[in-house]
């Protein structure tokens, strides 16, 4: 593909944030280019999120990427919490006035958006690595990148860093202008994909003295499960049988229920972190998605926050493009950070309530059980969890 030298909005990163932003801008006639350091198969196979809020589904539909989601996505009306041998279901529609979530993997969202963009979209360059962004405080910030073995530049009106936690766009903003708020957790998630039908129709979030476990799914025939492990755990140090035995122990329930086993086809360990970088804009460089904020996946917020950021940002660019009014663009960071901090708190709440921190005391563990009992006994406490899980309208 020929390498453009000039565009209105230069986007670094073809994850959900960059791809959805490019789609929304292209639909509105705003010129943009997406630069992605990895190749297409890598980006499409990278196992990550699995739960979409209704607002994320709605914007994907509006972007033209909803057709397969409608066909293959699984609408979910609840989740189950599991602890001390009991289960309690959180009924989303009953507690939130009819809202639900969808199970549709981030890999599929990315595939759908890439297919759309390559067929009829803005330039999307794979294996194009941004090495830096200069001129953030000028009218024409420039992305420096390598592509097909050559050093190149892309001069833009605006640059949007959709390049994740380790991206380069954030570095274009002076350290003195940024504040990063961070919490690193003393545990990680060991995630597996298994060729076995999910043992539950809905997700199960399990608290256990041995550590947290989550039962999720990718389809009616593929399960996605996670278990809390110490940081630095080697995913290849466990046999399949050891993984299933540990999951069995953590999902143990005083009822006739059995976790079905099957061949594990993928395994990875991911560290957990909460992080917010403020502001999400400096000059003509803006940050969206994981480039600006990270949440522990316990609240299923990461992908949904990225979609929410770029929905706000696309509207702001379209307003500037059609009316010349840049007020929405000026308000972008503040508009997004309210939702970001709400999601950060909820993700922290779910993580600290359900995980066994290696340094926690017996007192802390009893507080967790008290919180879970409260959610099971109070529709108000349950509604607070349900509203946050399906997505708070701010």
Interface of this chain with ligand PHB, residues 223 to 242, rule: CB under 6 A: 224
Per the annotation, the verdict on 111 as an active-site residue is no
Per the annotation, the verdict on 205 as an active-site residue is yes
Q: Out of 35, 116, 172, 287, name the contact with ligand FAS by CB under 6 A.
A: 35
Judged by beta carbon distances under 5 to 8 A according to partner kind, the member of ligand FAS, ligand PHB, none in contact with residue 224 is ligand PHB
- Residue 144, classified by CB atoms within 10 Å of its CB into exposed (0-12), middle (13-18) or buried (19+), is middle
Cα–Cα distance for residue pair 358/269, rounded to 1 Å: 17
Q: Residue 277 or residue 388: which is nearer to ligand PHB going by CB?
A: 388
Does 300 contact ligand PHB by CB under 6 A? yes
Q: Out of 78, 121, 141, 297, name the contact with ligand FAS by CB under 6 A.
A: 297
Cα–Cα distance for residue pair 130/28, rounded to 1 Å: 25
Minimal distance, residue 224 CB to ligand PHB, in Å: 5
Helix-then-strand count for the chain, H and E? 12, 19
Which residues pair with residue 78 across a beta bridge? Answer: 91
Minimal distance, residue 218 CB to ligand FAS, in Å: 11
Does 164 contact ligand FAS by CB under 6 A? yes
- Residue 1, classified by CB atoms within 10 Å of its CB into exposed (0-12), middle (13-18) or buried (19+), is exposed
**Contact 330/312 with Cβ under 8 angstroms?**
no
Judged by beta carbon distances under 5 to 8 A according to partner kind, the member of ligand PHB, ligand FAS, none in contact with residue 18 is ligand FAS
Per the annotation, the verdict on 99 as an active-site residue is no
Q: Residue 127 or residue 360: which is nearer to ligand FAS going by CB?
A: 127
Among the options 145, 158, 332, 389, which is catalytic? 389
Does 14 contact ligand FAS by CB under 6 A? yes
Planar angle of CA 330, 336, 339, nearest 5 degrees: 155
Q: Residue 82 or residue 304: which is nearer to ligand FAS going by CB?
A: 304
Buried b (16+ CB within 10 A) or exposed e, 148-177: eeeebebbbbbbbbbbbeebbbbebbeeee
Site string for ligand PHB, 34-53 (x = CB under 6 A): ---------------xxx--
Q: What are phi and psi of 91, to 5 degrees?
A: -90, 100
Pairing of strands 32-35, 6-12: parallel
Per the annotation, the verdict on 258 as an active-site residue is no
Q: Residue 178 or residue 367: which is nearer to ligand FAS going by CB?
A: 178
Does 198 contact ligand PHB by CB under 6 A? no
Catalytic annotation, residues: 76, 205, 297, 301, 389
Contact footprint for ligand PHB (CB under 6 A): 49-51, 203, 214, 216, 224, 297-298, 300
């Amino acid at each position: 593909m020929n390498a453009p030298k000039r565009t209105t909005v230069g986007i670094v990163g073809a994850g959900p944030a960059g791809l959805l932003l490019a789609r929304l801008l292209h639909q509105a006639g705003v010129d943009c280019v997406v630069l992605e350091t990895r190749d297409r198969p890598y980006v499409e196979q990278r196992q990550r999120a699995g739960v979409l809020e209704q607002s994320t589904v709605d914007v994907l539909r509006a972007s033209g990427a909803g057709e397969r989601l409608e066909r293959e996505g699984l609408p979910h009306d609840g989740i189950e919490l599991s602890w001390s041998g009991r289960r309690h279901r959180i009924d989303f529609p009953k507690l939130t006035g009819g809202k639900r979530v969808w199970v549709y993997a981030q890999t599929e969202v990315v595939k759908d958006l890439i297919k759309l963009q390559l067929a009829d979209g803005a330039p999307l360059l794979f294996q194009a690595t941004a090495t830096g962004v200069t001129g953030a405080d000028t009218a024409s910030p420039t992305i420096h990148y390598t592509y097909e073995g050559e050093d190149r530049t892309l001069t833009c009106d605006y640059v949007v860093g959709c390049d994740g936690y380790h991206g380069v766009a954030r570095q274009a903003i002076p350290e003195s202008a940024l504040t990063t708020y961070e919490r690193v957790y003393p545990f990680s998630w060991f995630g597996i994909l298994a060729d076995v039908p999910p043992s539950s129709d809905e997700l199960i979030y399990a608290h256990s003295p041995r550590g947290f476990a989550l039962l999720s799914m990718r389809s009616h025939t593929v399960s996605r499960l996670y278990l809390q492990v110490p940081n630095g755990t080697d995913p290849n140090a466990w046999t399949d049988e050891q993984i299933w035995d540990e999951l069995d122990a953590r999902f143990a329930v005083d009822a006739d229920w059995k976790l079905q086993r099957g061949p594990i086809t993928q395994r990875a360990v991911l560290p957990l972190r909460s992080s917010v970088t403020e502001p999400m804009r400096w000059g003509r460089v803006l940050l969206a998605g994981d480039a600006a904020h990270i949440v522990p996946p316990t609240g299923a917020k990461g992908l949904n926050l990225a979609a929410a950021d770029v929905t706000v940002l696309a509207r702001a660019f379209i307003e500037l493009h059609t009316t010349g009014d840049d007020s929405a663009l000026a308000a972008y960071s503040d508009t997004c950070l309210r939702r970001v901090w709400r999601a950060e708190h909820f993700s922290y709440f779910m993580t600290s309530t359900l995980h066994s921190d290696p340094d926690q005391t017996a007192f802390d563990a009893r507080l967790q059980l008290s919180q879970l009992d409260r959610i099971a006994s109070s529709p108000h406490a349950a509604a607070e969890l349900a509203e946050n899980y399906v997505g708070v309208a701010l």
